[in-house]
Structures are given as C-alpha cells and as structure tokens.
Structure 1
Amino acid sequence: MAVIIPCYRVKAHIAAVIESIGPEVCAIYCVDDACPDGSGKLIEGAIADERVKVLYHDTNQGVGGAVLTGYRTAITHGCDILVKIDGDGQMDPSLIPQFVYPIETGAADYTKGNRFFNLENVHGMPILRLVGNGALSFLTKLSSGYWNIFDPTNGYTAIHRSLGELILQRKIDKRYFFESDMLLNLYLLRAVVQDVPMEAVYGAEKSNLRIGRIVLPFFVKNVRNTARRFLVQYLIRDFSLATLEAIAGLALLAFGLIAGAVFWGRSYTAGQLATPGQVMIAALPILSGLQMLLSALNFDMRNVPTVVRHPLALRLRR
C-alpha cells in the first residue's frame, strides 16, 4: 500500500502529516508540485522515514497532475492500493485502513471521503464550503452517474492499482476539477465507488482554492461531462428506452419553453391574454417533457456500477 501526498504550500503541516501515517503503509510519495515554499527540500531534510520518497515537478501541474505522478510511480514500484491524502493536515492519516478495507475485501474499486455522513462532523465546516459542496454534489451526481455518493470534491481517496493503470491512460483534468473528473472516468470504466465517513479538521491552514474562480468553470465542466456520459453510456454502449425518454423529454421541454416564450411575447406586445389553446400548446410539452426526463433520470439512478472490477475482487468471488 502506498500513500501519495501532493505538496504545494503545505510546508507548515507536511511533517506532522507524514509522521502520523501508520506502519500499515509501505511507501509514501510526496510530490513537490513546483512548490514555491520548497516543501520537497523540507521533507528531505527533516524526515528520516525510509518509506518517504520525494518526487519533483519542474512546473506546477495542479493537484491532479501530482496525484497522477504519484500513481505512476507507486504502480511502477508494485504497490497494490494507492491512497491519496492532502498535506495540509485536514485529513486524518489514521483513517487510511478504513479507506483501504472496502478495496481489500472486494467491495469497491475506489473509495473516497464523505465529510457529511455524520452531521456532527460538519459543525466546524465553513458555511461557504457547506453550500458549495451541496450544489457541487448534485451537479457531480448528474455528470458522473454516481448517485450513491456525496462530497465529490473530497480528496481523501484510495484506488486499486488495476483501476489506477486504466486511469493513467485517460485524459483527466489536472487542476481543481480532478476529483470530479475522476468520478466520470471511473463510471465509464464501470468501477464501483464507495463513500467512507470522515471528519475534516479546519485549523489555521489556508486553502489554495478560490471559490469565486471555480464556480463557473465547475458548472461548465459538469455540464460537459453530463453530455459526454450520456453520449458514451446511452447512445454508444446501450441505446435503451431511457435514451429515447431523455431525447424526447429534452425536445418536448425545449419546444414548450420556446412556444411559451413566443406566445407570451406576442400577448405582451398586443396587450391581450394568451388563448387557452396557446397555453396548452406550451404547457403540455413542458409537462410531458419533464415526466419523460424524470423517468430517464430514475433509470440512470438505478444504473450505478455495482460489480467490482479489480482482480482481487474477482478472486474473492470465485
């Protein structure tokens, strides 16, 4: 088992994080992502743990780029399960066995943290993060297809090496959208994802994430991923009744909204009420379209991957 820690401006906390990692971990890969504070040099000079290896990026590649570098190195060195934690002290290393257990027992291919599973754990969470995670969770459920998970931007994760090898072959966003983009790619691989309850620790550390900068990009990328997933899963792999319902529902909804807007504009300009026929022409397609979309959505919610793919799980099922 290996732990991967992206290091970017975590100089004040990284040593304590490494020292908290238990003996169940065989290797620790700290990826200095062109850190301006010199986190990598600090680790090499202050940490005597033989499990620790520092990897350097000449240019900043983002958290996703650092994680993928860690995956690649850990897989090359023969590690079977790859755990990723942050270096800012917000993730408790003592929880690592809980993230690994579902993979070891063949219950999941990929595990991720969920800070919202126990309500008492969110009392200290900033309100902006609560609201943002709620909105992002719904968007990511829609774009990734994993309706059974929450807290999609949580970076405390574990993955089996066989899925890690496949992930390395795919084009994944390397910046702050990395965790959400990972979920889409795991869905397209039909991997089983499981949430692990955890508590986040918020202290004096400062996040490098600026909420205002990512709201619009996250929204656009989630819409893009929703369209991509629909194209791959429901048009190429499995053209089903749900596909027809989604297409017809969108068409009817669009027609009803456009017709309603046209009739309203004409009525407003002429100073007359719309006729009952015009109202029905707009309302019936909207209602029918929404019903079809809800039916397609219900099918999608029941289409979450349930068969674990990694080789260990296959052996356990025999």
Structure 2
Amino acid sequence: MKIAVAIPCYKVTLHVMGVIAAIGPEVEAIYAVDDACPNQSGKFIEEHNIDPRVRVLYNSENRGVGGAIVTAYKAAIADKMDIVVKIDGDGQMNPALLPQFVRPLLRKQADYTKGNRFFRPESVQNMPAVRLFGNAVLSFLTKLSCGYWNSMDPTNGYTAIRTNVLEELPLDKLEHRYFFETDMLFRLNTVRAVVKDVPMDSVYADEESNLKIGKILPEFLRKHLSRLGRRYVYNYLVRDFNVGTVYSLVGVLLVLGGSLFGLLHWISGNAHNQTASSGTVMLAALPIIIGIQCIIAFMHYDVSNVPTEPLSISLDDLQAPVRQSTNTDLDI
C-alpha cells in the first residue's frame, strides 16, 4: 500500500517544517498545498525542505481547506497512491498518530478514518468550554444530516481515506471551506462507505482561528438541513423504500394531521367561546402521540442503518485483474 500525506498550507510557516519532519518513513509522498497563501508557504517549503518525498502544489486562488485537500487528492489519485492522510500544517495534529489512522484502512475495516477528540475524558480537559459545547452541537447536527450516528467530532480534520473510495466521490462538488469535513461525511454516506473514529488528544498551538461562530452558524444550519433532506430522499425514497420510509411518512402525516385538527378546533372554539370536548382533544392528541412514536421508530431504524461493510472491499474486487485459469487436468 502506497501512503501519501496531504498538508493544506495557509499561514503555517511557523509550524509546517516541523510537521513534515515528523512524518514517518512509511509515507511515500507528501503533498503540501499552497492555497494562495499570503505568506508564500509553498516557496518557504521549497527553500527549506530537504525531504525528497515533498511535492509542493499551488492553487491560483484561495479555495479554503477543502479546495486545498481536493488538489492533493487529485494528485494522489494521479500518482496511484492507495491511501491519503490529511494532516494540518499548524502543528495541532501529531504525525506520529498516522499509523493508527491507516491501520483500519489496511485491514479493510473502514474506508475513511477521522480523529475523535472526545473519546477519552482526559482528551478534552484542555479544550475551551465554548469549543466543547460547539463541537457537541455540531456533532449531533452532523449525525442527523450525514447518517453516521456512531461518529463524533465531525470538524476534526485529521483524516485518512482510500483513493479508490475517493474516485467514487464528486470531488469538484465538495465544499471548499469550513463545511468540508461535514460534506465529506455526507458524500461518503451516499456511497455507503464505512467511517471509523480514531481517538486523539486535542492540541492548541499559537495559531489564530478564522472561524467566526456567529457568522457561520446560519450557513451551517442551512447546509445541514439541505444535506438532511437530500440524504432522506436518496436513501429512503430513491435508492430504497423500506420500513423506515413507512415510519417516517406515517409519523409526519399523523403529527401534522393531529396538529392541524387541534389548531382548527382551538381557533373555532375561541371564535365561538366554546370549550373543546374531551373527545375532540383525544382526536387531536392521539395522532400526534402515535406520530411521534413512528418518528422515534424511524430514528431507531436510521441509527441501525449505518454502513458496516467497507466499500473498498467490493472496489478492490472490481479493480483486481482478471486471472486466467489453466485447467491442468487436460495434461493428465
């Protein structure tokens, strides 16, 4: 297996050479992507680098972390690499953990691995409370929109992926900026890829984050709702029509029907100064209660529907050369 490392480079000249130096000999290629960095990270690396594995790639315009990684992904596919590991150049991700991210891919236990800073209580002791709460909320939204209910810490950028799985994804359609990691999970779910979390500790260096919560929160909510709707339509209406579909449709219809029935009678009662009878209240409440139970059943079905069979296994079988068999019995 040929392993490559992708490093997005934007204002990381203080740390990137240390990151490159810490990458082990198991890696065959290192792609450092200068994402139109104002500090000219690419030239800085070329001037100070002594590692023959390093190849500097340049984006003509700033495309964000997603755009930088897609550039490296395409180079890795063209160079026939088998696995690509993404490590940020700001020193927050320890390259010594790389074998832990690659191991499940080599054993064909997963198609995509990502870091999880919430796995051990000790790992989050130094994490700011605001980040801890924000990541918990984003993790729940990502579970809803992407379908990986067994995954946590969706914004973690320490990842590894098989290139044959990458070839199944629409790389040019991936989000380019802060929503990139979440969009990757959404795209992976559409091809039924297996995602596995890798425990890691959180590290905060002296870098400044460009992420402004108040600015990106409305955008994140809109994109999560969009992915949730698309995932539901694709998995439960287009690709398959199953018991989860029935639960969800019946549940929504009952909740809406009961709510509308109760609202109309409440408005009518107020207009005529009449109190609703117990039978009317039950006719409104019962569909809502049953509908909520159906929606809960759908959620349970969706949680149990997380992909478990690695996509790379079937892709390896399809890509394996056809072996010509020889019937030696004819020579006997």
The RMSD of aligned alpha carbons is 2.0
* Equivalent in 8, 11, 24 of residue 22 of structure 1: 24
Q: State the partner residue of 2:242.
A: 240
Asked if structure 1 preserves the Cα contact closer than 8 Å seen for 2:70 and 2:171, the reply is no
Q: State the partner residue of 1:148.
A: 150
TM-score (norm 2): 0.90
User: Aligned residues: percent identity?
Assistant: 51
Asked if structure 2 preserves the Cα contact closer than 8 Å seen for 1:64 and 1:178, the reply is yes
SS in 1 for 2:250: helix
Unmatched runs of 5 consecutive residues or more in structure 1: none
Q: Is 2:99 aligned against 1:97?
A: yes
Number of aligned positions between the proteins: 316
Structure 2 counterparts to residues 169-180 of structure 1, below 5 A = 169=171, 171-180=173-182
In structure 1, distance between residues paired with 2:271 and 2:128: 48
Asked if structure 2 preserves the Cα contact closer than 8 Å seen for 1:68 and 1:168, the reply is no
Asked if structure 2 preserves the Cα contact closer than 8 Å seen for 1:33 and 1:56, the reply is yes
Q: State the partner residue of 1:115.
A: 117
**What amino acid sits opposite 1:72 in the alignment?**
K
Higher deviation after alignment, 256-265 or 200-209: 256-265
Q: State the partner residue of 1:75.
A: 77
Structure 2 counterparts to residues 120-135 of structure 1, below 5 A = 120-135=122-137
Q: Structure 1 residues 29, 258: CA separation in 2 closer, same or farther (over 3 Å shift)?
A: same
**What amino acid sits opposite 1:113 in the alignment?**
G
1:12 offset after TM fit, Å? 2.0
* Equivalent in 31, 35, 38 of residue 37 of structure 2: 35
* Equivalent in 182, 188, 191 of residue 190 of structure 2: 188
Asked if structure 2 preserves the Cα contact closer than 8 Å seen for 1:72 and 1:168, the reply is no
Q: Structure 1 residues 60, 261: CA separation in 2 closer, same or farther (over 3 Å shift)?
A: farther
Higher deviation after alignment, 282-291 or 100-109: 282-291
**What amino acid sits opposite 2:72 in the alignment?**
G
TM-score (norm 1): 0.93
1:264 offset after TM fit, Å? 4.4
Q: State the partner residue of 1:56.
A: 58
Q: Structure 1 residues 153, 263: CA separation in 2 closer, same or farther (over 3 Å shift)?
A: farther
Asked if structure 1 preserves the Cα contact closer than 8 Å seen for 2:10 and 2:35, the reply is yes
Asked if structure 2 preserves the Cα contact closer than 8 Å seen for 1:106 and 1:313, the reply is no
1:226 offset after TM fit, Å? 1.1
Asked if structure 2 preserves the Cα contact closer than 8 Å seen for 1:105 and 1:313, the reply is no
**CA-to-partner distance for each residue in 1:55-77, whole Å, 9 max, x for gaps?**
11111111111111100001111
Q: State the partner residue of 2:312.
A: 310
Query: Which entry has the higher C-alpha Rg, 1 or 2?
Result: 2
SS in 2 for 1:167: coil
**What amino acid sits opposite 2:228 in the alignment?**
T
1:269 offset after TM fit, Å? 6.2
**What amino acid sits opposite 2:120 in the alignment?**
N
Higher deviation after alignment, 54-63 or 10-19: 10-19
Unmatched runs of 5 consecutive residues or more in structure 2: 318-332
1:272 offset after TM fit, Å? 5.8
